[in-house]
Amino acid sequence: MLTIKDKTFVPFITADTIQARIQELAGQINQDYATRQPRIIIVLNGAFIFAADLIKHLTITCEITFIRVASYSATQSTGQLKQIIGLNEPVANQDLIVIEDIVDTGFTICEICDQLKAQQPASLSIATLLFKPVALRKPIDLQYVGFEIENRFVLGYGLDYDGLGRNTQDIFVLVEA
């Protein structure tokens, strides 16, 4: 059990399960991009641990770029988006793989993809550790999904609650009051 501020979280996905799934995802990406040299775009902050573990298993040659957007406050998605920060190189004609921690309403990833597609990349795919299909508000194609989960607030392994709780190996879920 984990208590952060006023909230209690209980174990949800273990470190072993996460790592095994990441190896599978990396295997798929290695196969799919065997003849390409993609640019991996890591969405900070939440995806930093997932991305680090995933890319260690990639055997393809790739470039890595870190971007940020801010769209979330406390436990509810605001739908408010800011511009992508940190995309300093043009991405036209490149094969892009965006790495996200979680797709909830889908607004964040859709906004990122729209902004990237405006530059006309050769291809764009998305790898997300977690996906909440029930919460999705915008249709989106997700090529690499670690785990589909129910519509509950999760924490740890990069994901935060009010900036706290990112530093765990397991993923926890909020105990609803």
Cα–Cα nearest to 145, from 131, 133, 157: 131
Which residue among 58, 154, 157, 171 contacts ligand IMP (CB under 6 A)? 154
| Contact between 61 and 47 (Cβ < 8 Å) | no
Catalytically annotated residue among 104, 114, 160, 170: 104
* Distance separating alpha carbons of residues 81 and 66, to the nearest angstrom: 17
In the complex, least distance from residue 15 CB atom to ligand IMP, rounded to whole angstroms:
17
- Alpha carbons within 13 angstroms on the beta-carbon side of residue 4 total 23
In the complex, least distance from residue 31 CB atom to ligand IMP, rounded to whole angstroms:
26
Cβ proximity to ligand IMP, 64 vs 140, nearer residue: 140
Contact between 153 and ligand IMP per CB under 6 A: yes
Binding residues among 78-137 for ligand IMP as defined by CB under 6 A: 100-109
φ, ψ for residue 67 (rounded to 5)? -125, 165
State which amino acid sits at residue 62: C
Distances from the Cα of 28 to the Cα of 21, 34, 127, angstroms: 11, 10, 11
**Residue count at the site for ligand IMP (CB under 6 A)?**
18
Binding residues among 56-85 for ligand IMP as defined by CB under 6 A: 71-72, 77
In the complex, least distance from residue 142 CB atom to ligand IMP, rounded to whole angstroms:
11
> 């190896």: which residue's tokens?
23
Cβ proximity to ligand IMP, 38 vs 46, nearer residue: 46
In the complex, least distance from residue 155 CB atom to ligand IMP, rounded to whole angstroms:
6
**Composition of the chain by helix, strand, coil, percent to 5:** 25, 35, 45
Residue 104 falls in the annotated catalytic set? yes
Residues that bind ligand IMP (CB under 6 A): 46, 71-72, 77, 100-109, 153-155, 159
Q: Among all residues, which ones are annotated catalytic?
A: 104
